Structure 1
Amino acid sequence: MIKARYPAIAVVLVISLMVFAGFQTVLAAVPQAGDRLSLAGAMQNPQGQGVKEVEVAVLVNGQHVRTVTGEKISTDKSGSFLSEFIFPAGTLPEAKVEVAAYKPSWKKLAPTAVQVLQTGVDKDGNRLFQAQGDFGLARTITPAFWLATAILLLVYIIIAAELMHRTLAALLGAALVLFISYTAGTFDKNYFILSFEDAIAAIDMNVIFLLMGMMIIVGVLKKTGMFQWLAYKSYALARGNIFILSGILMVVTAVCSAFLDNVTTMLLMIPVTIEIAVTLKINPVTLLIPEVFASNVGGTATLIGDPPNILIGSYANLTFMDFVTNLVIIIAICMVITVTCYIYWYKRDYLKADVKDVGRTIDFMKSEYRIKDMKLTVMGLVMLGFTIFLFVIHGVLHMEPSIAALTGAMVLLAISRADIVEMLEQEVEWPTLVFFIALFMVIAGAEETGLIQIIAEWVLDVSRGNLTLAVIMVLWVSAIASAFIDNIPFTATMLPIVAFLNTTIPGAETGILWWSLALGACLGGNGTMIGASANVVTVGLAEKAGYHISFLGYIKACFVPMLITVVLSNAFLLIATFVRPLTMSR
């Protein structure tokens, strides 16, 4: 009887031990009360902009600590970070809490103390603490800086010397940036230029899709014969006078660029211009270069005419009428000079035009250059008008211009039943789009390693406290830099610089420095074929039609006129500095 009880007792003991062990496990799983710290902050450059992807370390009493989740801390796209920590009860607030940071091409942030404040107690008995701080980072010159600068210069030299096609040169530069980053940069962060993710993010798809959409719309309209008809009308209006014709084309291009973007305007004007030049038996380049120069001048006059103006208007809360009121006068003056300069520059070429029998030529063009498909023409013009309308109101809708262009292009393809494969193969200038993609990557490498910021900081240091000097510096640095570096990223970098100058220099609160930046970036883009998007598109489409424009040839035709327009702008801005009520509304 007793023996029979032993197994039962053993079972009871085993069950009791299991229950006790489970109870202990449950107790161990219950979080013990402690000190919970929420640490938030931001890493900023000297201009107050957030710096992304900064590695952040937190030290308590000199020892590195991990977050609650054990993940590494890094800043987001805005340069901010937020992490949670838990410590044994009684650790805070007496402990010394410090933040350190590191990112390639930036000076290391030495451990910096933050103030810890108690905010309460949660339901689990944890004492809650909070700490917050903004930390400044400064650039440092690393091997990556020199490599990125050298690659950027190499790309420009190759394009200028025409050692290879500009698209191949840009792609080679982009490949070198990424190759160095993931070879030498893997073993030594001082050689890391640009991550693949940042390279992809640097591609401005708004520009790419805007170009693609407008190329498709133009491609469909080309089938209607409308551009040939416009060529006939332009020639008839000028009555065969090539000098008047060139002036008409420049003025029309400038006015259209003020209400469209300059890239779209050139996409529409290039086919017309080539038709006119072929009829007159002159090189289309003699009309195309004056037109693209005029497009960049005209686009400077309004908020939507040039991408730098869109950036400036958005950042500074400037309206469409602010740009018109403050810039139309100087742009009109620049246009007069532009027309005069190019008519003189290409005088010899224009005199070679075949204009012996104007009346007969007009009759011939009238019979030959007719609209072939009226129905398709109407559909194309309606969708073009709809796209332009979207461009005008895109700010109200908070819609990117590329959405307007793609919508117009795709609806036009759908209703016209045009062959999209044919459009993509024949009408979309892929080498130009790929050139933009690669160039965005190369410039991003220069930005990431600090080249563009160093230029901007130099302007800030030299012009501090003097409005006249600041106006001159912002205008000329923007103009020269935008001639050789795409004006869109440079303008984006300059925005916080100008905003800071507006608050620190007496008299700058009128907003005159915004106009210095707009005039410098937009007009300076005329200096070289890679200074503005419209230039690249024009060169690409001219080349596709069989008319080559060299890098040095473009500089020869455009750099001096660009300097003249900037000099005129300089005089205008200096007058505005001292006679503010007459010229500046803000």
Structure 2
Amino acid sequence: MNVILASLIFIVSYILIMTEKLNRAIVALFGGVLLLLSGIYTADDVFMNYIDWNTIALLFSMMVLISITEKTGLFSFIAIRFAQRVKGAPIPLLIGASVLTAVGSALLDNVTTVLIFVPIILKITRLLNLPSFPYLLAIIFSSNIGGTATMIGDPPNIMIGQAVDHLTFLSFLQHLAPVALIVFLVMLLAIVLLFRRTLQHDKANEKKLMEIDAAEQLIKTPMLYKSIVVLGLTITGFLFQSLLHIELTAVALSGAILLLLLTENEISAEHVFKKVEWVTLLFFIGLFTLVGGLQEVGIIDELAKAIIVTTEGDFSKTALLILWVSGLFSGIVDNIPFVAAMIPVIREFESYGLVYLDPIWWSLALGACLGGNATLVGASANVVVAGLAEGAKEKIPFIRFLLYGIPFVLFSLVISSIYIYIRYLIPYMGQAF
């Protein structure tokens, strides 16, 4: 009975999250409360065993760091100054927006990055009388690709990194950044070729752009310099985490608390906390409780068995199946709940003889992050961009995005399959023999 009840609560909650008819955080939390009331697990089980507080703390810390830094106008300054450097030329602007988004998504996180850059890009494209769709498409693709490259870039990577102790910030960078770079370059080439005829340069509009004083965006107070220093130190801490023997969450929390202390006289903690995306954090908590219910009744264990049976325990087949299943599913539904459900499944593989799981973790990360490019609901960053665009009366048509997203994701998964096979599976098969 518990199996049926837990499955039903999870499925109904998942459908409601997908349809976005109700606030997804409320849906996820309500599902968790129903599991508690039904006696499937206890409150102690939820808070001690199933909610990943490291992930919650890491996300919270990055939100605090970015919300303070954003107040200094630094990100707006960088975007406008770049647009002026390329003199509003449409193709260089497209390439530059993509590069800035990808780098920002890798070093900050993709949701935060698009929240910062999309309003600026919409302003610049309107000023230059350029169609916004190619730029928004490039920003969405770049945010998910850039987020793939590091542990903190995309929520699925944060969840995987917190679930597997030995996967550090540098591990993600070393294993995922090379393939992310390849996919990014292919994406840039494709978008430039597809839209080059619709992106025309207008000298009159260029003049308007050049008249903007980018320096006015900067609020040159001590908070600006404190934010730059602390953000730089935090990212440096991420890079050298394994050498320092300090957990990623501890580095992020240290940076956030330090910046709060240093800027208390200029911006109150209460104001900063208002800017924290509490809905996102509560959504994660709700997801962990929903997936915890599946773990408690043994469904996760059965899913692991089913995958092993399908692939007959073959290591290569399992890695590639995880890549494609996660890629295709993440295009249909938000990749966060999918990864939350898959993490305990992959953990169970060890009990069925698969000891070397790193390539399978990389397959899950690649599939979930890159698969999110398929539709407007495939990743949190996509939903944010669509919302910002609609608010600016530049709505992204769902079907039009789909026509570009699905082919690109399929091509990305082919590239990722080749990468996984050459870098991990061939060496593994060589050792096996």
The question of 1:217 aligning with 2:47 is answered no
TM-score normalized by structure 2? 0.77
Deviation at 1:223, TM superposition (A): 2.8
The question of 1:339 aligning with 2:170 is answered no
Aligned equivalents of 2:170, 2:251: Cα separation in 1: 22
Question: Is the partner of 2:240 in helix, strand or coil?
Answer: helix
Match for residue 232 of structure 2?
385
Residues 303, 313 of structure 1: 8 Å contact kept: no
Aligned equivalents of 2:421, 2:181: Cα separation in 1: 18
Residues 9, 34 of structure 2: 8 Å contact kept: no
Aligned equivalents of 1:152, 1:340: Cα separation in 2: 41
Match for residue 493 of structure 1?
345
Residues 296, 526 of structure 1: 8 Å contact kept: yes
Match for residue 275 of structure 1?
120
**Counterpart AA for 2:53:** M
Deviation at 1:515, TM superposition (A): 4.0
Aligned equivalents of 1:412, 1:496: Cα separation in 2: 40
Residues 84, 210 of structure 2: 8 Å contact kept: no
Deviation at 1:385, TM superposition (A): 0.7
RMSD value, Cα: 4.2
Query: Are residues 552 and 232 of structure 1, via their aligned partners in 2, closer, same or farther at CA, if it must alter by over 3 Å?
Result: same
In the alignment, which of 136, 144, 150 is matched to residue 2 of structure 2? Answer: 144
Aligned equivalents of 2:65, 2:162: Cα separation in 1: 28
Match for residue 247 of structure 1?
95
For structure 1, the residue ranges without an aligned partner over 5 or more in a row are 1-142, 186-191, 504-508
Deviation at 1:469, TM superposition (A): 2.8
Aligned equivalents of 2:426, 2:169: Cα separation in 1: 23
Query: Are residues 408 and 303 of structure 1, via their aligned partners in 2, closer, same or farther at CA, if it must alter by over 3 Å?
Result: closer
Is 336-345 or 442-451 further displaced after alignment? 336-345
Q: Can you list the C-alpha shifts for 1:321-374, whole angstroms capped at 9, x where unaligned?
A: 7655654443222112333455577789x75x9955244123222267442325
Question: Is the partner of 2:211 in helix, strand or coil?
Answer: helix
Question: Is the partner of 2:218 in helix, strand or coil?
Answer: coil
Aligned equivalents of 2:165, 2:68: Cα separation in 1: 38
Residues 9, 35 of structure 2: 8 Å contact kept: no
TM-score normalized by structure 1? 0.59
Residues 487, 525 of structure 1: 8 Å contact kept: no
Match for residue 294 of structure 2?
446
Match for residue 259 of structure 2?
412
Aligned equivalents of 1:212, 1:369: Cα separation in 2: 29
Query: Are residues 176 and 225 of structure 1, via their aligned partners in 2, closer, same or farther at CA, if it must alter by over 3 Å?
Result: closer
Query: Are residues 307 and 372 of structure 1, via their aligned partners in 2, closer, same or farther at CA, if it must alter by over 3 Å?
Result: closer
Residues 273, 287 of structure 1: 8 Å contact kept: no
The question of 1:157 aligning with 2:5 is answered no
Number of equivalent positions: 420
Deviation at 1:565, TM superposition (A): 0.9
Question: Is the partner of 2:45 in helix, strand or coil?
Answer: helix
Query: Are residues 216 and 574 of structure 1, via their aligned partners in 2, closer, same or farther at CA, if it must alter by over 3 Å?
Result: closer
Larger Rg over CA atoms? 1
Q: Can you list the C-alpha shifts for 1:159-202, whole angstroms capped at 9, x where unaligned?
A: 443423x33xx4234324433542xx3xxxxxx43433333343
Match for residue 435 of structure 1?
283
For structure 2, the residue ranges without an aligned partner over 5 or more in a row are none
In the alignment, which of 356, 367, 370 is matched to residue 520 of structure 1? Answer: 367
The question of 1:570 aligning with 2:424 is answered no
Q: Can you list the C-alpha shifts for 1:269-313, whole angstroms capped at 9, x where unaligned?
A: 532331231232279786455434323323434566556667469
Match for residue 26 of structure 2?
171
Aligned equivalents of 2:27, 2:362: Cα separation in 1: 36
Match for residue 92 of structure 1?
none
Deviation at 1:242, TM superposition (A): 3.2
Deviation at 1:494, TM superposition (A): 0.7
Deviation at 1:235, TM superposition (A): 0.9
Identity %: 30
**Counterpart AA for 1:334:** V
Aligned equivalents of 2:389, 2:359: Cα separation in 1: 37
Question: Is the partner of 2:183 in helix, strand or coil?
Answer: helix
Aligned equivalents of 1:549, 1:171: Cα separation in 2: 26
Deviation at 1:460, TM superposition (A): 0.9
Deviation at 1:390, TM superposition (A): 2.0
Is 212-221 or 280-289 further displaced after alignment? 280-289
Query: Are residues 329 and 175 of structure 1, via their aligned partners in 2, closer, same or farther at CA, if it must alter by over 3 Å?
Result: closer
Aligned equivalents of 1:539, 1:499: Cα separation in 2: 42
Deviation at 1:419, TM superposition (A): 1.6
- Pairing 1:7-86 to 2, within 5 Å after superposition: none
Residues 65, 255 of structure 2: 8 Å contact kept: yes
Aligned equivalents of 1:283, 1:369: Cα separation in 2: 26
Match for residue 463 of structure 1?
311
Aligned equivalents of 1:285, 1:495: Cα separation in 2: 40
Query: Are residues 375 and 306 of structure 1, via their aligned partners in 2, closer, same or farther at CA, if it must alter by over 3 Å?
Result: same
Aligned equivalents of 1:313, 1:180: Cα separation in 2: 24
Query: Are residues 312 and 246 of structure 1, via their aligned partners in 2, closer, same or farther at CA, if it must alter by over 3 Å?
Result: same
Question: Is the partner of 1:357 in helix, strand or coil?
Answer: helix
Q: Which has the higher strand share?
A: 1
Deviation at 1:226, TM superposition (A): 1.9
Q: Can you list the C-alpha shifts for 1:214-263, whole angstroms capped at 9, x where unaligned?
A: 333323233322222112122123321334323222223334444x35x2
Match for residue 394 of structure 1?
241
Query: Are residues 237 and 301 of structure 1, via their aligned partners in 2, closer, same or farther at CA, if it must alter by over 3 Å?
Result: same
Query: Are residues 290 and 144 of structure 1, via their aligned partners in 2, closer, same or farther at CA, if it must alter by over 3 Å?
Result: farther
**Counterpart AA for 1:163:** K
Residues 278, 284 of structure 1: 8 Å contact kept: no
Question: Is the partner of 2:225 in helix, strand or coil?
Answer: helix
Residues 319, 360 of structure 2: 8 Å contact kept: yes
